[in-house]
Chain A
Amino acid sequence: MIIKGREFSFLVFALLVVMTIYLMRRGKQSWSVRKIAGLDAIEESIGRATEMGRPVFFTPGGGDVVSGASAVDTMAAVEVLSYVASMTAKYKLKLTVGIRQANTYAVADQTVKEAYVAAGQPDLYSPDIVQFYSPEQFAYAASCVGYFQRERPSAILMLGWFQAEAVMLAEGAAQTGAITVGGMVKFNQLAMMVACCDYILIGEELYVAGAYLSQNKIKLACIRSQDFGKLAAIVAIIVGTLMVSAGNKALVKLFS
């Protein structure tokens, strides 16, 4: 029944789902996540924007919600956007969301609208909050940097999936003197974001963002299952390395 060669990956996936559901059912128990400075800085940056009366800019990067790894990075960023939108609605701040992909535009627009309605400020929502710039990489980057230069937002949040434009965005943001919070999982440009941004979310800290900000017990339980998966991966790497060094490739064949 299972396609030949995919039995092991099916088993791993099934185990992860079972563990997630088991830990969710134990949701009464609260799992804690270590302090993540980048996520705490989001609230701080919005507070600063409120004091200064300057707008807040958010971009979930260039990822598409229908495409593989970038979909999950983008959805994680959209979760943070929901939180940011509810905060800006609460404090009556101007929010601008810069979007690169059309599918992401639809999701982000809906997210912001729902967040404003939930915060009791439906009148403050406007279709101009979420702006589609261009799917072209540097047209999108130029639009964002142009916005930074013109509007001088006091908080610039760049969380999601980025490519080479990350440098342009991070450095362009840094030059305006805004508080910059960056976050990405993709390895390529992470170093530039770390160098240029005031606060940074590295790797899976972005995936944890939704759970961390909402402190939702079920989401935290899912993060816990992820940690168990990582532990299993570490054990497999150590055991596999020792086995291959001893000339036994059984584990390699299993994972292949």
Chain B
Amino acid sequence: MRREVPVFLGSAAGVVILAAYFINYKPLATLSAELMNWGIIMSAFALCLASVNLVRKHVNQIARKEPVAPFSLALLIVFFGITLAGLFQGQNSAGFTFFYKGILEPVSASFYGMLGFYLLSAAFRTFRARSYEATLLLLSALAVMLGRATIGSLIWEGFPGLAEWFLGTPNAAADRGVLIGASLGLLSSGVRLMLGIDRAYLGSEE
């Protein structure tokens, strides 16, 4: 029963939503919409559960005086600060805006900027023309980079058009191939989940 009930509930919900997509029957559509709304509510509860895990982990780190304890303290201060400001003063309040504009925006943007340095390190270390295929890939990557940078059109005015062709033709073709394969995999995985064949979330098979 411990395994069968969750599988049945999951399968039943999946079948109802899928059936509502294909079958023209108003009560089914209403039930499907209701289940999707329940999904939204469950997501909010899952966020609470995950937040408890986050807070517990960092409180433990502070209690055990680990080397990262100061960072855990900073995290908890910001976590509770922005949560309480948003809950009690609203998202338009000065407190919430301070946390958002003063901390979240600049820190997020800074990390996104760091991505450039990681990319540079990866490009320098790994983009090697080790084989014929790698050389082709490298040359097309260089062509797209030159096409997307204004400096490319200074070197040769055909680079932007070439970049658009690479993105619009071979890239789109490969993307569609992967998309078709992935969609079939997605369908098959969905069918396996709905039939209760894949039950990894309930633990091992036997």
Contacts and interface: CB of A to CB of B under 8 A. Distances in A.
Interface residues of B, number: 62
B151 interface: no
B112 interface: yes
Instruction: For chain A, give the interface size range.
Output: 35 or more
Interface stretch (A51-59, A104-112, A243-251): A104-112
A76 B178 contact: no
A238 interface: no
Given A16-B188, A102-B46, A131-B57, A192 B122 contact: yes
Contacts of B174: 187
Interface stretch (B86-94, B153-161, B179-187): B179-187
B198 A207 contact: no
A185 B115 contact: no
A61 to B, nearest CB: 14
B181 A103 contact: no
Interface string B30-63: 0000000001001100110111011011001000
A237 to B, nearest CB: 8
B203 A118 contact: yes
Contact of B23 (A3, A64, A113, A142): A3
A67 to B, nearest CB: 9
Interface of A is mostly: helix
Nearest to B104: A136
4 nearest A-B pairs in the assembled complex, by CB-CB distance: A114-B203, A138-B111, A102-B50, A207-B185
Interface of B: 18, 21-25, 39, 42-43, 46-47, 49-51, 53-54, 56-57, 60, 68, 104, 108, 111-112, 114-115, 118-119, 121-122, 125-127, 137, 174-175, 178-193, 195, 197-198, 200-206
Interface of A: 1-4, 6, 9-10, 13, 16-17, 20-21, 24, 64, 66, 69, 72, 75-76, 78-79, 81-82, 86, 99, 102-103, 105-107, 109-111, 113-115, 117-119, 127-128, 130-136, 138-139, 141-142, 150, 164, 167-168, 170-172, 174-175, 185, 187, 191-192, 195-196, 203-204, 207, 210, 214, 216, 218-219, 222-223, 225-226, 229-230, 233
